[in-house]
Amino acid sequence: MFKYRLIPSPRMAPPGDKILVTGALGQIGTDLVEELRARHGTDNVIASDVREMPEHPFLEDGPFRLLSVLDGDGMDAVVREDEVGTIYHLAAILSATGEKDPDLCQRVNVGGMTNVLETAMNNDLRVYAPSSIAVFGPDASKIAAQNSPLNPTTTYGETKRTGEALAREYLANFGVDCRGIRYPGLVSWKAPAGGGTTDYAVEIFHAALEKGHYECFVGPDTRLPMMYIDDAIRATLELMDAPAESLGSSRAGYNVSGISFSALELADSIAERIDGFTCDFVPDGRQAYADSWPDTVDDSAAQEEWGWKAEYDLDAMVDAMIESISSN
Ligand code: NAD
Ligand code: AKB
């Protein structure tokens, strides 16, 4: 008869080696899942989202789970059943949608992050959870330093600041390895931009090619940190590949610099390549969010700690966008 029994605690479950991506059908997930599947094998990367898109390739090409990040038990079950070892947590409500529904933005961004970190703690998972340049507010320098004060004036920015704080807390208290990048506005062509302030830098390409005209919702002098998607995906994977010992106190939200351009410079660069393209600037409520963010960021910490260097400048990005949209 056994006198003692060893009851395995959830933390003792051996971590699997599969990858779960939340919010996988969005702008970044559409590119990231493709790259992760190329690296790790299709069956090892489980795409998940709160919605289904019948026409999206993930639903047919590889494993997909319908999963809300607000369902912590459901997330835990997927992690255990599918032997997940790493979560790339992309599910979120972005700035423009978030400012219209701040309560939803709080619930999804902070609640979802908490569920991901709890699941990671209970199952010994690694986590990638992106932050944003929206963590900065108007008091940050226009070239925002890694350690600039974080006083965002948008609800979305507040949720991203809280996400970074939660990641630091779960690392310090429970040893959860959660890494993040403060992405600039991302410019990509495979999926539409998902309700952010920087969406104009994506929409303008589709409008230019389809209609020869775009009505831009920020003013011509609006200058923001931006990045082409290939650089963003590479940054993500390089950060996740970096040895933990090389990462310092910025682990939850590294500044990464890509390209800084004004809306007019972007329109001019497109007009140089598409004959007859015109752009009107008709700022709406999103102008205020853009004005509260820096022009660019200082990414010395990312350079020093994991060797970050962007490859795409404005010309290379505009060429890549026009060529990719035209040929697809
Ligand atoms: P997106 O809006 O394109 O995609 C987000 C996805 O999350 C959508 O497919 C949506 O259906 C899903 N989602 C929403 N609520 C959910 C829920 N409750 N459960 C599960 N899924 C849910 O966003 P994105 O551009 O791919 O952004 C991904 C991450 O990167 C976010 O954390 C965002 O804050 C961050 N980020 C993005 C940018 C950018 O320019 N795209 C810049 C900075 C930071
Ligand atoms: C948005 O505009 O909301 C995003 C971001 C910069 O976080 N693209």
What secondary structure does DSSP assign to 167-200, as a single string?
HHHHHHHH---EE-EEE-EEE-SSS---S-GGGH
CA distance 171 to 80: 21
Answer whether 95 contacts ligand 1 (Cβ < 6 A): no
Mutational pocket test of ligand 1: of 56, 94, 257, the residue with most ligand atoms within 8 Å of the beta carbon: 94
**pLDDT tens digits for the chain (328 residues)?**
333 333 333 433 446 799 999 999 999 999 999 999 999 999 999 999 999 988 887 777 899 999 999 999 999 999 999 999 999 999 999 999 999 999 999 999 999 999 999 999 999 999 999 999 999 999 999 999 999 999 999 999 999 999 999 999 999 999 999 999 999 999 999 999 989 999 999 999 999 999 999 999 999 999 999 999 999 999 999 999 999 999 999 999 999 999 999 999 999 999 999 999 999 999 999 999 999 999 999 999 999 999 999 999 999 999 999 999 999 9
- Quote the tokens at residue 126: 């690694």
User: Ligand 2 atom 4: the closest Cα is on which residue?
Assistant: 196
Ligand index nearest the alpha carbon of residue 115: 1
The architecture in CATH of the region 18-183+249-255 reads 3-Layer(aba) Sandwich (3.40)
Answer whether 26 contacts ligand 1 (Cβ < 6 A): yes
Answer whether 197 contacts ligand 1 (Cβ < 6 A): no
Q: For position 6, what pLDDT does the model report?
A: 37
Q: For position 15, what pLDDT does the model report?
A: 61
- Quote the tokens at residue 270: 């497109």
Tokens 């990858």, residue? 19
Which atom of ligand 1 is closest in space to residue 133's alpha carbon? 43
Query: What is the residue extent of each domain of the chain?
Result: 18-183+249-255, 186-227+257-327
The architecture in CATH of the region 186-227+257-327 reads Alpha-Beta Complex (3.90)
Answer whether 23 contacts ligand 1 (Cβ < 6 A): yes
Q: What is the torsion angle, in degrees rounded to the nearest 10, for the CA atoms of residue 142, residue 144, residue 147 and residue 152?
A: 70
